[in-house]
Amino acid sequence: MIDRCGRTIDYLRISVTDRCNLRCIYCMPENGVKLVERSQILREEEIIRISRVMAQLGITRIKLTGGEPLVHVRMPELVCQIKEIPGIKKVTLTTNGTLLKEQMKELAEAGLDAVNISLDTLNRDCFQKITRRDLLNEALEGIQEALRYPGISVKINCVPLGIEGQDLCEIAELARKYPVHVRFIEMMPIGCGMEFKGMSEKELTELLEKRFGSLTLYQGEPLGNGPSRYYEAQGFEGKLGFISAVSHKFCKDCSSCNRIRLTSQGYLKTCLQYSAGKDLREIIRNGGTDEELTEAILEALEQKPDGHQFLEKAQADDTEKLCMSQIGG
């Protein structure tokens, strides 16, 4: 699919649930968010149908997210069904890792291509402060279990918060010890994320180079679906990556802004910042045809903005008000 700016859209992120077993401070309030009725969440067959239509339009890669996607009771079966859709080349998963140990074998057998594990610290007290849960050991066990499957790419996603005890260099150490890529994701000013300053890529680079020596830009084959810039450090098995969507805006780069998002309620979003999009669930549940779904998807792409305006003042009625757990990570 080609959007109004000439960008090739071949990557779809699907949120399969708004439920999560953590309460990360930059993602949702301490008491969580108001959950929608389960009847309002896309059913498995609806996700498959939308994925099939998307594949016919040129989507080749799908990432399953949440909430926490592994609270979905049939995640391996869902992965398997999506993998069987003609045109879909890769199915990947983003998870907090705490439920991964028990499900990794089935996910691997289902054909999962890659897993991204969100981990913001190796310090137990800091982990509990960030997630409001004492589940660091479970997350680390999930990473170790994923590493037992060498055919599945493993990445660690870390959001630098700039808070005491986060130990970002210790997170980076995982890429030295194991064949994993560690990516530092700039804080997005969405929902609760607006309350945190985070760290700039420049600050983080200086911190890492002070510890590990100079970082060299990786210029090999792409290592994932998105816009991360990867660097190599001497003695590391994996790469260190930066996704700095705010300070290093990539929206107009035809090779980078290649994604659209589907919320757990079936709402198609073409840009993370804005609330505009199309309700695909409504079309399906009103008896709509695949042709009507196709028309709605293409209409949404015609409205995809040139880029976000996080550094500028966005119009209040356009800016997304939902938390990331409600949109989809």
Query: In a 3-state reduction of DSSP, which class is residue 16?
Result: coil
91, amino acid identity: V
φ, ψ at 52 (rounded to 5°): -65, -45
Q: State the CB neighbour count (10 A cutoff) for residue 225.
A: 20
- Pick the more confident residue, 256 or 323: 256
DSSP secondary structure of 218-267: --SS--SSS--EEEE-TT-SS-EEEE-TTTT--TT-TTT--EEEE-TTSE
Q: Is 135 left (phi over 0), alpha (psi -120 to 50) or beta?
A: alpha
Please tell me the total count of domains within the chain.
1
Cα–Cα distance, 41 to 140 (Å, whole number): 30
Residue 1 lies in a domain: no
Confidence band (pLDDT; 50, 70, 90) for 194?
low
Residue 5 lies in a domain: no
Residue 153 lies in a domain: yes
pTM for the whole structure: 0.89
Residue 169 lies in a domain: yes
Confidence band (pLDDT; 50, 70, 90) for 207?
very high
Taking only the tens place, the pLDDT of each residue in 42-80 is 999 999 999 999 999 999 999 999 999 999 989 999 999
Average pLDDT of the segment spanning 18-26: 93
Residue 4 lies in a domain: no
Taking only the tens place, the pLDDT of each residue in 140-170 is 999 999 999 999 999 999 999 988 899 999 9
Residue 6 lies in a domain: no
Given a cut of 60, whether residue 317 has pLDDT beyond it is no
Contact present, 67 and 18 (Cβ < 8 Å): yes
Given a cut of 60, whether residue 316 has pLDDT beyond it is no
Helix 201-212 / helix 168-177 crossing angle, nearest 10 deg: 60
CATH assignment of the domain containing 205: 3.20.20.70
Residue range of the domain that includes 265: 11-327
Residue 233 lies in a domain: yes
Taking only the tens place, the pLDDT of each residue in 103-141 is 999 999 999 999 999 999 999 999 999 999 999 999 999
Name the DSSP letter for residue 113.
-
Confidence band (pLDDT; 50, 70, 90) for 328?
low
Pairing outcome for strands 153-158 and 61-65: unpaired
Contact present, 61 and 12 (Cβ < 8 Å): yes
